[in-house]
Structure 1
Amino acid sequence: MKKKSMNVPNTLSLLRVALVPVFVVTLIFMREIPVWGKVVPTLIYILTAFTDMLDGKIARKYHLITDFGKFIDPLADKFMVLSSMISIDAVMFLEGQTTEAIVFMFVVLVILLRELGVTSLRLVVAGKSGIVVAASMLGKAKTVSQMVGTVLILLETTIFPFSAETHIVAYVVMGIMLVTTLFSGIDYLKSYLPYIDTNE
């Protein structure tokens, strides 16, 4: 029997998972190289994020949605976002940006709790009623703010030299990430609550 080959969207999702360690390694070990120490990991991150946008579009357009894809795509997304943010936070500590690192650690913790909460709600509701609430505009805004925000934090001192001392750009970006994460989490909670029976 001929073994069925993996389709393009699922391959892209697995590529996203494989690129995350490459991003982490280049970010940490190239951090002392001027300019390129930030540009190279940023380009890898952008490529990783691009696979996130591409796999879903291809799967929907060419009807290549599979059970494995439904599992690996969101898992790869969370792995990408959280791994990149945790490694950026680690580099902040290594570079002596203690205050910025502590603030970003709080933002990452909120994002982690939000992802765990929303994923748990999805599993409970989907398991009982088979209903999956589509991503809202707030959810999409959260994703965009995290991806664009990560790039801006990585390239902060390269693109915005005036922010090298105060890191004001990074703090503004973190604030936007935090707000969109909280509001999208509340939005998902409101969407799923009608399907949850608190008496069970």
Structure 2
Amino acid sequence: MAIDRVPALKRCRALGLEPGVVGISRESKRQVRRTNRKVSEYGMQLKEKQKAKFIYGVLEKQFRKYYEKAKTMPGVTGENLLGLLERRIDNVVYRIGLAQTRKQARQIVRHGHILVNGKRLDIPSALVSVGDVITVAEKSRSKAMFKEIAESQNSLSAPAWLEADPAKLSGSVTRFPERSEIDIPVTEQAIVELYSR
């Protein structure tokens, strides 16, 4: 399995992202060098695709599959693409406040700590549906990280399409996300144009 080992802060600098977008609280101490180099249209489209891939932790082959699926769905392809990425179980675990970053959420899912509708799900790329209930497995609730989440009152607020209850270490999908509720700084139309070349 391919693994992206580029340091997160370095990638944030290269893509012009705030580290908070990917859940990192610390800032880079390096100065950003300003260049007056003109970026081509293709370069801008490629950067938007790389941003989306980096934020959601998806590699090229899988990202392309999401695009192909989004293309066949009714509605706007770019919005469908972001909607599919938002519905990944690792992203949902992050959004309902059970993890501090999407990478941590992916690891939590991989290790079998998450139940969807009472059944263990350890595939981070699995898509959730409306009505799905996401909970932490009973045997995992005694772990320090989950105890801390259950006891803390300042949890990450979930978007409107999700219902979160950090005290009970659970959440549910009330509906599919709309573009206005997806707060990542990506121009999805540029990604569609890139793949349409």
Normalised TM-score (structure 1): 0.26
Relative to total residues, which structure has the larger helix share, 1 or 2? 1
TM-score normalised according to structure 2 size: 0.26
